[in-house]
A = this chain, B = another copy of it.
Amino acid sequence: MYKPTTIKDIAKALGLSTSTVSRALRDSYEISEDTKRLVMDYAEKINYKPNPIALSLKERRSYSIGVIVCEVANSFFSQAINGIESIAYKKGYHVIISQSHDSYEREAINVQHLANRSVDGLLVSMSAETTDISHLQRLHEQGLPMVFFDRIVEEIQTHKVIVNNKKGAFEATEYLIKEGQTKIAHLANAPHLSITPERLEGYKMALQAYGLPFNEDYVQYCHHGGLIYEEVEDAVKKILQMPDKPDAIFVASDRLSTGCLTALRKFNPGNIHNLSIAGFSNSAVINLLQPSISYVHQPAFEMGQIAIEMLIQLIESNKPVKEFITRVLDTKFFPNKDLTEIKVDTIGS
């Protein structure tokens, strides 16, 4: 049975009281140098570590913060997590990661679990399925600090970090248009995610800016954020089978982008439909993908860093914070340079 040494053990071994030991370990001024050294040396020797559970109970804080994302197997989120950790560790906070798998139920359970475990604050990116936000609202009202990033929720007044989704979507769509495509479909995320209408809007704006009509049918939603591959496949199939078949697709997210390419590879081997793809993605292997894709890259690491800094500010602020800010970062667009080249290849196959 695993039983770590306690302050009591030290006290007994050294013939002191627990309070003296406690104070000595915290280098209190009211303890003599001799006693301090005695206690500290002994603690060192037996590798004493204070029990953070006891500390948490006492201080009503845990120096840990909870992160809830849909999944870690997603470049955008894993990069954001790395950003979060980079700051959190430096400031003495531990990061507890939790996955919603884009399920409302899982999100609610995990949020509750994290709150129960006395995290000092929460970093949240909403699940694709969630419409009812009362689980978060309740905690927020009770005063649990939280910061939203990427997939935010309007109704809760707190700090938020997002990217300029409209602009990112505009640039991607614009690129496709400038490439010469006129019938551009849009593979969209779950409708109630904050990012979905924003990216749709950017897409629409680009169409309008270049005098292209907006076709409602060209927009295909994936209600589970693409975590269920079949829904992406269905959406892509629908796009390919449209009477007025699109010649390009603008894809709204990382997971959808890879799902879309997989489906295309299946239905459209060798890119016989000559489709051009542009989408949001932070994948490390994006440049290796075939069919190739132009992509909107989000500063995920930086978003994570900013979010955790905001959260820590909230946690450590003495007076209740009343002014909340929403940081909007820029995305970066990477055209797929060798598009034509590869198209020639694949057409030949």
Q: A residues bordering B, Cβ < 8 Å?
A: 1-4, 47, 49-54, 56-57, 60, 62, 64, 71-73, 75, 78-79, 81-82, 85, 94, 96-97, 99, 112-113, 115-118, 138-139, 142-145, 258, 261-262, 265, 283-285, 287-292, 341-342, 344-346, 348-349
Contact = CB atoms under 8 A, between A and B. Distances in A.
A52 B94 contact: no
Contact of A345 (B49, B60, B265, B346): B346
A71 B284 CA distance: 14
A35 B305 CA distance: 49
Given A78-B71, A262-B288, A345-B349, A2 B145 contact: yes
A146 B186 CA distance: 48
A247 B56 CA distance: 59
B143 A3 contact: yes
Interface-centre pick from A73, A78, A115, A289 (highest chain B CB count, 10 A) = A73
Contact of A290 (B79, B139, B290): B290
12 contacts: A3-B60, A4-B142, A72-B78, A73-B78, A96-B96, A97-B97, A261-B288, A262-B287, A285-B289, A288-B288, A345-B348, A348-B348
A291 B345 CA distance: 13
Contact of A62 (B53, B283, B284): B53
A118 B285 CA distance: 38
